[in-house]
């Protein structure tokens, strides 16, 4: 069997590890940064194995729901959860726009002390996934690794043309 595709993202935060951990595990703080430029509402946050983080992201009149089921909680070093897209009743559901996107991703976040700073290592791997879901995820990861830069240039041009007149400012 070939290895499962993995998404990795590392980032060094200029803050001590305890503080970074708090920003991830206090829902008041978490909702301030999780989700790019949109409103994040945390409906539940039960930080223990078997507990769940129920997350809603809102923009305009649209909303997107996901459920994070905690598997492992080791303060202040490690968080592991199953990350699933859901419907508004928190039932795991395929995304209508991308039915083959993995419904659940095993998400691991490691917090490593680096002096006064903290290295956060994020990893996401499809779990309990169909072959189609794994293939979809693998394709996306390959797209990230292999020169999508030129593709983006095309897309930016096209988007700019299409958006003309739509964005007044």
**Where does this chain bind other proteins (CB under 8 A)?**
7, 9, 11, 13-15, 19-20, 22-23, 29, 32-38, 55, 57, 59-60, 62, 64-66, 83-85, 95-105, 107, 120, 122, 124, 132, 136-137, 139-140, 142-144, 146-148, 150-155, 157-159, 161-163, 166-167
Nearer to other proteins, 49 or 58 (CB): 58
Minimum CB separation of residue 20 from other proteins in Å reads 7
Nearer to other proteins, 47 or 138 (CB): 138
Please report the sign of the dihedral spanned by the C-alpha atoms of residue 78, residue 79, residue 80, residue 83: negative
Minimum CB separation of residue 129 from other proteins in Å reads 11
What distance in Å separates the CA atoms of residue 77 and residue 25, rounded to the nearest whole number?
12
Minimum CB separation of residue 56 from other proteins in Å reads 9
- Provide long-range contacts, Cβ within 8 A and 24+ apart, for 105-108: 105/7, 106/71, 106/80, 106/82, 107/68, 107/80, 107/81, 107/82, 107/83, 108/78, 108/79, 108/80
DSSP 89-156: T--B--BTTBTTS-SEEEEEEEEEEETTEEEEEEEEEE-S--HHHHHHHHHHHHHHHS-HHHHHHHHH
Minimum CB separation of residue 109 from other proteins in Å reads 10
Minimum CB separation of residue 73 from other proteins in Å reads 19
């Amino acid at each position: 069997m070939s290895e499962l595709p993995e998404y990795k993202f590392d980032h060094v935060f200029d803050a001590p590890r305890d503080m970074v951990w708090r920003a991830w595990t206090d829902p008041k703080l978490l909702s301030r940064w999780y989700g790019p430029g949109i409103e994040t509402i945390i409906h539940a946050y039960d930080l223990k194995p078997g507990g769940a983080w129920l997350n809603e992201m809102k923009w305009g009149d649209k909303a997107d729901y996901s459920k994070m089921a905690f598997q492992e909680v080791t303060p202040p070093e490690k968080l592991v959860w199953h990350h699933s897209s859901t419907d508004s009743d928190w039932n795991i559901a395929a995304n209508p726009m991308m039915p083959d996107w993995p419904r659940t991703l095993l998400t691991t976040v490691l917090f490593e002390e680096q002096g006064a700073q903290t290295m956060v290592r994020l990893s996401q791997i499809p779990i309990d996934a169909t072959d189609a879901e794994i293939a979809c995820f693998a394709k996306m990861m390959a797209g990230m690794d292999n020169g999508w830069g030129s593709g983006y240039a095309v897309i930016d041009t096209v988007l700019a043309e299409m958006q003309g007149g739509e964005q007044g400012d």
